A and B are shown apart, each in its own frame.
Chain A
Amino acid sequence: MSKVGIYINEGSLIVPIQTDLRNDALEQLQKDILKTVRETRLRGVIIDLSGVSLLDTYQAKKIFAIGKMTGLMGTVTVFTGLSAGIVVSLTDLDFDSSEVLTSINLEEGSKLLKSMKGTTARTDEGS
């Protein structure tokens, strides 16, 4: 298991990242999230990055890729709490964020997921 806690709240998976992630930790986190998504029937995943102060393009690519992966599994991932500094540096580096779903904070992210309920619900009955 990664050091990052994974919580299930109101049908969403909440992943608060409170430290700067090392690459191997990211790898483990990705595995843990996907495994949990597979095992549980979840409406969505919220990855809260408010505790992250630095995110290089490699890490950004890695972490946003988790969103794409859960998307393939029929679960929406929202990234919340990106700091202004991270956004400025990623934009300066011409980071392609067109497929990334974001919200300002955890609360807004949770609201966004709720508003998407139904349109994104998983249709398969198997677990």
Chain B
Amino acid sequence: MAESEMRTVVPVNMLWDKILMLPIFGTIDSARGQEIMESMLKKIIATKSKVIILDILGVPIVDSAVANHLIKITKATQLIGSEAIISGISAEIAQTMVSLGIELGNVTTTADLADAVQLAFDKTGYVIKKAT
């Protein structure tokens, strides 16, 4: 299975001081969810990050199973003392999530990565300024 071969990498990126970013591609099953969670938590501890942005633009469908994994991941982030922002919620995903009655709880979500980055900067106390 091509998917299982991809399952070795969880690209947790350091976006800025105390801000991590993790793009998620493809569907999230239990094994992948577990893997994402573990690598993410280790990286959060290592970098003492305050915020982690989960970009799910590459996730084609968010059904209740996938949403469940996302909720678990964000709960784990909260428990370790960090905060998750989910970015990349497309119009289609927003529609399916609402019509399926999926509740993400009090997780912050944004459509664009840019908004999530802005939020992350706000939370860590950074101000973006145009140098003119």
Contacts and interface: CB of A to CB of B under 8 A. Distances in A.
Secondary structure at chain B's binding surface: helix, strand, loop or mixed?
A: helix
A88 interface: yes
Contact of B41 (A80, A84, A109): A84
Q: How large is the interface on B (under 10, 10 to 19, 20 to 34, 35 or more residues)?
A: 10 to 19
B80 interface: yes
B48 A102 contact: no
Contact of B45 (A97, A100, A104): A104
A105 B50 CA distance: 11
A82 interface: yes
A88 B41 contact: yes
A108 B48 contact: yes
Interface in B37-51: 37-38, 41-42, 44-45, 48-50
- Majority SS at the chain A contact face: mixed
B95 interface: no
A109 B41 CA distance: 17
Interface size class of A (residues with CB under 8 A): 10 to 19
Contact of B72 (A84, A91, A103, A104): A91
Contact of A102 (B34, B42, B49, B79): B79
B48 A82 contact: no
A83 to B, nearest CB: 8
A54 interface: no
A4 interface: no
Interface string A81-109: 01110011011100101001011110011
Given A87-B41, A103-B81, 6 more contacts: A83-B45, A84-B80, A87-B76, A88-B38, A91-B37, A102-B78
Interface of B: 34, 37-38, 41-42, 44-45, 48-50, 72, 75-76, 78-82
10 contacts: A82-B79, A87-B80, A88-B41, A95-B79, A100-B79, A102-B78, A102-B79, A108-B48, A108-B50, A109-B81
